[in-house]
Amino acid sequence: MELPVFYDEAEEWSNALLLYDAALKEISTKLEILNNEFKLAHQYNPIEHITSRIKTPQSIAKKLRHNNKELTVDNIVKYVNDVAGIRIICTFTSDIYRIADLIRKQSDIKILKIKDYIIQPKENGYTSYHMIVSIPVFLSDRTVDTKVEIQIRTIAMDFWASLEHKIYYKFEGNAPEHIRNELKECSKIISYLDQKMLSLNEEIKSCTQEQLGDFKQETPG
């Protein structure tokens, strides 16, 4: 990653980046283990896929400016919660809470903040479940609790967020009203779709093997 503007703190920044990178790796491994265990027990993957990223220096600087804080490594570590970010994409809304619960039960992870934008969507229609957590990173001479933002959302929520992000940047945060309204409408459709897919899945799960056999006989081909 490119050095940010604070060249005089280059070493501190490199150390901070090492911690953020290690924290992302630790959480990714934990999630992979949980997903594999779940698959073995239930023949089903709650996690579709996972992405992770370190926030760009430009985006970090913007956030600090927005909070009227000077651009220093100390301030980044203290005030920017999402320098290290992981996004978990699931199939169903119920998987989101299941995964959040599994993360909560990991004894070395501390939950610092929860933002449930599913129960309380943002004004623009954004839905997702956010957790700010800290995880210990074991170095040769010390252990450092390092912050990571975990975003958990369904495929449909992610689809919406990607488009909204594109539109936000295209119009520099000032999209025309009709586009903002359409986006809100799409958010409602997505929430409806997520609910429908979940109840359909529940219905399929509750079907007994016998019922499934009958269903197959009824369906030609």
Work out how close the CB of 205 gets to ligand 0O2 at its nearest, in angstroms, rounded to a whole number.
31
Work out how close the CB of 125 gets to ligand 0O2 at its nearest, in angstroms, rounded to a whole number.
8
Q: How far apart are the first and last CA of the chain?
A: 54
Q: Which residues make up the interface to ligand 0O2 (CB under 6 A)? A: 55, 59, 63, 81-82, 115, 122, 124, 126, 130, 132, 161, 164-165
* Close Cβ partners of 3 (under 8 Å, ≥ 6 residues apart): 10, 13, 57
Give me the phi and psi of 123, to 5 degrees please: -50, -35
CB closer to ligand 0O2 out of 46 and 85: 85
Integer-rounded Cα Rg, in Å, for the chain is 21
Work out how close the CB of 115 gets to ligand 0O2 at its nearest, in angstroms, rounded to a whole number.
5
Work out how close the CB of 133 gets to ligand 0O2 at its nearest, in angstroms, rounded to a whole number.
12
**Alpha helices per DSSP H over 171-207:** 177-206
3-state SS of 63-106?
HHHHCCCCCCHHHHHHHCCCCEEEEEEECCHHHHHHHHHHHHCC
Work out how close the CB of 143 gets to ligand 0O2 at its nearest, in angstroms, rounded to a whole number.
24
Work out how close the CB of 87 gets to ligand 0O2 at its nearest, in angstroms, rounded to a whole number.
8
Report the alpha-carbon distance of residue 23 to residue 166 in Å, rounded.
28
CB closer to ligand 0O2 out of 61 and 201: 61
Report the alpha-carbon distance of residue 59 to residue 65 in Å, rounded.
10
CB closer to ligand 0O2 out of 28 and 124: 124
Q: How many CB atoms lie within 10 A of CB 201?
A: 14
CB closer to ligand 0O2 out of 113 and 196: 113
**Amino acid identity, residue 163?**
L
CB closer to ligand 0O2 out of 39 and 122: 122
CB closer to ligand 0O2 out of 6 and 126: 126
Q: Which residue is nearest to ligand 0O2 (CB)?
A: 126
